[in-house]
């Protein structure tokens, strides 16, 4: 969801709605107090704050690119400054605390940002490589030799490299990092050209003509739902669904930590039309993250009003690829049993890191008190893992069933290339309250099921399980519930 509103939110503090419905500066600071040029510690961003507008730049050793600008009127009442001095200021944005240091002037790279070589393949490669070199947090953890990668892929590029060729090179280079939060996006026209070309190359590689066994994921989901929750309810495109397996056993499947805003999508609208309405409302929103949080609270309260007399709850997170950390934690508040600090985080800042930021969570009043069983897979990822990691503290007695989660915790730091392409990287390290970094490991289950990390094979496993009598993870949860009686 890379809309202008969300990019703006990454700077102006709209995410602070998780802590305050009306975010204001606790110390009555305003934009007038931070006029000038500033560099953000750990995120490779420069901001130019004037009386009328704020300009945002992405900077690395070889490039400085303007990525957005907006008027002070738009954001004045949504900034939350914690401290301001002549040489620095600190801003709270939801879960995050960001620090900025004063610059005497706009860096020369930024002042001359309208480079005539913005489409030069080598310049774009260098911009991306140096951004990762300065801000990526997991070279050691993922055993990545970044200098060797530069030598391998830089040699493939010349001044005559086409856009399609450059995309192939960068896509392969980033895919080799094996980090689910590393990606690159290109214009639709180039993406279509790439997809068409790749299909041709794939066909040429097929020698035996063998076909994989057909697996219809929607059919697998239907089989699971028909067996365990035939009368289930759902919310917004089926991203969250719920019912009771038995009068005393509730089931809640959450497939995303997002798309929870409680927009009116038109009664009886088709899924396609509803998605278009949602997207239009999202892009028009001045505070989309608040919409997400409010929607999450609304739907969780509605669901748990139906679950209030149940004794056990199965939460199925196996198909949840993430979304907003704030949504994940708002959901967790519904079942949390104790108020606590749930994790810490820091961002890569050159050769070091920013200050540790400790995140706390408070349960809602009358949070769920029954036994909780959480199902996970290798596709439980990102913000869904924030839910899982935090539940280790807030729900220490919850039973986790399945495989380790994927192990990608950092927020995605979004950047742009000189040619306008966008890409993302992991620049933050999250720690459990015991100080463990679970990146590339994931949150481990109490009862292990060897789910594949191949999407096709994982769904095939579930299909086979259903053909043989039932979903292994759900059956295990029901067995544990029965044995506890």
Point out the least confidently predicted range of 72-81, 234-243, 351-360, 399-408.
72-81
User: How crowded is residue 332: how many other Cβ atoms within 10 Å of its Cβ?
Assistant: 24
pLDDT at 4 over 70: no
CA dist 149 → 140, 170, 391 (Å) = 14, 11, 37
Contact status, residue 410 vs residue 429, Cβ threshold 8 Å: yes
Number of residues assigned to the chain: 485
Rounded-to-integer distance, Cα 462 and Cα 472, Å: 8
Contact status, residue 438 vs residue 482, Cβ threshold 8 Å: no
Tokens of 67: 């990525």
Rounded-to-integer distance, Cα 322 and Cα 458, Å: 18
Q: Tokens 């709605």, residue?
A: 17
CA dist 421 → 187, 250, 266 (Å) = 7, 45, 35
Rounded-to-integer distance, Cα 161 and Cα 36, Å: 39
Query: For the chain, what percent of residues have pLDDT higher than 70?
Result: 89
pLDDT for res 197: 84
Rounded-to-integer distance, Cα 81 and Cα 12, Å: 10
Of 73, 64, 70, 85, residue with least CA distance to 9 = 70
pLDDT for res 8: 39
pLDDT for res 321: 95
Q: In which order are the strands placed within the sheet that holds 399-402? A: 233-235, 240-246, 249-254, 312-316, 371-376, 399-402, 447-448
Q: Confidence class of residue 394 from pLDDT cuts 50, 70 and 90?
A: very high
Rounded-to-integer distance, Cα 438 and Cα 376, Å: 15
- Where do the domains of the chain lie, and which CATH numbers do they carry? 4-111 (no CATH), 121-205 (no CATH), 217-407+442-483 (3.90.226.10)
Please state the rounded mean pLDDT for residues 124-150.
Answer: 97
Of 132, 129, 176, 135, residue with least CA distance to 157 = 129
pLDDT at 2 over 60: no
pLDDT at 208 over 50: no
Instruction: List, as one string, the DSSP characters of 367-402.
Output: ---SEEEEEE-TT--THHHHHHHHHHHH-TTPEEEE
Q: 50-91: per-residue pLDDT in tens?
A: 988 889 999 999 999 998 888 776 665 556 788 999 999 998
Tokens of 289: 């993250």
Rounded-to-integer distance, Cα 476 and Cα 485, Å: 15
Rounded-to-integer distance, Cα 170 and Cα 436, Å: 32
pLDDT for res 91: 84
- Report the run of H or E that residue 419 belongs to, with start and end: none
Rounded-to-integer distance, Cα 460 and Cα 466, Å: 10
User: At 281, is the secondary structure helix, strand, or coil?
Assistant: helix
Tokens of 24: 């204001």
Tokens of 196: 């068409």
pLDDT for res 204: 53
Query: For the chain, what percent of residues have pLDDT higher than 90?
Result: 74
Please state the rounded mean pLDDT for residues 354-372.
Answer: 95
pLDDT for res 9: 40
pLDDT for res 74: 62
pLDDT at 475 over 90: yes
Rounded-to-integer distance, Cα 421 and Cα 97, Å: 28
Q: 225-277: per-residue pLDDT in tens?
A: 999 999 999 988 789 999 999 999 999 999 999 999 999 987 777 888 888 99
Of 416, 361, 483, 428, residue with least CA distance to 43 = 428
pLDDT at 207 over 60: no
Contact status, residue 320 vs residue 255, Cβ threshold 8 Å: yes
Tokens of 238: 């089926």
Report the predicted TM-score, pTM, of the whole model to 2 decimal places. Answer: 0.89
């Amino acid at each position: 969801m890379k809309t202008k509103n969300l990019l703006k939110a990454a700077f102006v503090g709209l995410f602070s709605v998780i802590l305050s419905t009306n975010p204001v500066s606790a110390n009555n600071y305003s934009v007038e107090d931070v006029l000038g040029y500033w560099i953000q510690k750990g995120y490779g961003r420069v901001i130019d704050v004037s009386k009328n507008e704020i300009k945002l730049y992405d900077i690395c050793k070889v490039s400085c690119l303007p990525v957005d600008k907006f008027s002070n009127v738009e954001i004045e009442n949504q900034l939350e400054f914690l401290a301001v001095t002549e040489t620095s200021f600190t801003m709270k944005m939801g879960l995050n605390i960001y620090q900025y240091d004063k610059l005497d002037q706009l860096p020369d790279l930024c002042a001359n940002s309208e480079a005539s070589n913005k489409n030069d393949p080598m310049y774009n490669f260098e911009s991306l490589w140096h951004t990762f070199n300065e801000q990526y947090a997991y070279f050691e953890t993922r055993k990545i030799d970044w200098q060797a990668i530069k030598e391998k892929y830089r040699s493939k590029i010349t001044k005559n490299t086409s856009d399609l060729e450059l995309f192939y090179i960068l896509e392969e280079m980033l895919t080799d990092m094996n980090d689910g939060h590393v990606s690159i996006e290109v214009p639709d026209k180039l993406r279509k050209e790439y997809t068409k070309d790749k299909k041709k190359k794939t066909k040429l590689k097929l020698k035996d003509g063998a076909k994989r066994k057909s697996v219809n994921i929607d059919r697998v989901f239907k089989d699971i739902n028909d067996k365990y929750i035939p009368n289930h309810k759902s919310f917004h495109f089926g991203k969250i669904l719920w019912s009771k397996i038995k009068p005393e056993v509730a089931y809640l499947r959450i497939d995303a930590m997002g798309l929870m805003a409680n927009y009116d999508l038109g009664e009886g609208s088709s899924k396609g039309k509803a998605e278009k309405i949602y997207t239009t409302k999202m892009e028009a929103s001045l505070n989309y993250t608040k919409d997400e949080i409010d929607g999450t609270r609304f739907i969780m309260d509605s669901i748990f009003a139906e679950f209030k007399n149940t004794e056990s709850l199965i939460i199925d997170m196996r198909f949840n690829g993430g979304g907003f950390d704030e949504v994940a934690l708002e959901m967790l508040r519904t079942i949390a049993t104790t108020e606590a600090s749930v994790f810490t985080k820091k961002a890569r800042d050159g050769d070091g890191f920013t200050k540790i930021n400790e995140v706390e969570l408070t349960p809602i009043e009358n949070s769920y008190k029954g036994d909780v069983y959480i199902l996970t897979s290798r596709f439980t990822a990102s913000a869904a893992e924030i839910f899982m990691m935090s539940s280790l503290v807030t729900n220490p007695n919850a039973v986790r069933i399945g495989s380790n989660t994927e192990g990608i915790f950092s927020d995605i730091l979004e950047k742009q290339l000189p040619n306008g392409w966008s890409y993302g990287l992991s620049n933050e390290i999250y720690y459990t309250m015991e100080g463990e970094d679970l990146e590339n490991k994931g949150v481990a289950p109490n009862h292990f099921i060897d789910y594949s990390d191949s999407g096709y094979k994982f769904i095939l496993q579930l299909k086979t399980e259903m053909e043989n009598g039932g979903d292994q993870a759900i059956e295990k949860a029901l067995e544990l519930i029965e044995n506890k009686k």
